[in-house]
Amino acid sequence: MKTEKSWKNLFRLHKNEISILIFIIVLLIVSPILSEYFLNSSNILNLLRQTAYTAIAAIGMFFVILIGGIDLSIGSTIQIVGMTSIIMLNNGFNVGVTIISVLLLSMGCGLINGLLVTFGKLQPFIVTLVMKEILAGLILVISGAKSISGNNIPDSFMNIGTGYIGIVPIPVIIMIIAFIIALFVMNKTVYGRQLYVSGSNKTAAYNSGVNVKLIQVSAYVLCSLCAAVSGLLTVARIGAFQPSTTSQGATGMEMDAIAAVVIGGASLTGGTGSVVGAILGALLYGILSNLFPLIGVSSYLQQLIQGLIILVAVIISVKDSSSLINRLKAKAKRK
């Protein structure tokens, strides 16, 4: 009886994560029927590599969405990190210096976003959209809207994006490390608890001694930092910079990351969600993106299906948030 109750409690607390995991398992079971190529080892490794870019960005987006914000600039952040990396390496800069420089650059972008949202009291949507356009403009001006080939890219840098540890691609290893760090931060540190409290109720968090403004700013910095890591892995795999999609939302990674976090059970109103959910959301999104072309689904129909999935996830998250708020209000009235 106790075991049954504990299982029910586990499902109630983690129903989003468990539901996504079940859906992923079902997809893996039926995928050989849909496509004989999907479970091919090379395709699975490619799927995991592609998912790693989105998952790392989604971890950063999770921090921002958790506090009730959003960051539409990470696609352009990824692009400017890629461009700056190639330019620096082509000009003979050390790999370590290049990596540190672009990480600091991305954190600076996140810091500006966080300060404008927190202290400027501007809407996150507007601030990050403007940042996205500014960065996109800089990229086009500096690159001349032309590709930048990597003429002097060291193998040590390329290995970050193309190398393996055993049979596992290095981007997947970095994704796992990022996941473990984020999971530890959210579940075992005061900072993680403060993120949840700040997202749930800023007034209550402030009254309990949490520096809400610092928490908000730090969330945007972490989001941009994760985007930079994703950008480094992307450019290290290609070994060149392509600005062609910059004017159309950069890599589109911002929507993929938001989709992964929302599908993973996070609410756009803040205060709910988990790192596990964000990773599973990214994996589910990656599986669908990989499977659709293999079964002959056109890119247009793929966009439509993925958009509908995001819409359903948003509706569910808003509904869950509303019911939670209503329960809290009813509890407060009883007191």
Q: Convert the pLDDT of each residue in 73-121 to its tens digit.
A: 999 999 999 999 999 999 989 999 999 999 999 999 999 999 999 999 9
Q: Which two tokens stand for residue 69?
A: 């914000």
Q: What is the average per-residue pLDDT within 210-223?
A: 95
For residue 244, which of 141, 146, 148 has the smallest C-alpha distance?
A: 146
Predicted structure pTM score? 0.88
pLDDT tens profile 237-257: 888 888 754 334 345 788 889
* Residue 33 pLDDT grade (very low, low, confident, very high; cuts 50, 70, 90): confident
Strand 168-169 and strand 240-241: the pairing is unpaired
Let me know: does 216 contact 67? Beta carbons within 8 Å. yes
Give CA–CA dist 128/114, Å, rounded. Answer: 9
pLDDT in tens, 137-167: 999 899 888 888 877 889 899 999 999 999 9
DSSP code of 247? G
Asked if 299 and 307 count as a contact pair (C-beta separation under 8 A), the reply is: no
CA 27, 30, 32, 34: dihedral to nearest 10 degrees? -90
- Full DSSP string of 24-52: HHHHHHHHHHH-TTTT-HHHHHHHHHHHH
Residues in the chain: 335
Mean pLDDT (the chain, rounded): 85
Query: Measuring CA to CA, which residue among 76, 89, 43 is closest to residue 238?
Result: 89
Q: Where are the alpha helices (DSSP H) in the chain?
A: 2-13, 15-34, 41-66, 74-90, 95-118, 124-143, 155-162, 170-188, 190-200, 202-207, 212-238, 253-263, 275-294, 299-334
pLDDT in tens, 178-203: 999 999 999 999 999 999 999 888 88
Residues 26 and 20: their CA atoms lie apart, in Å, by 10
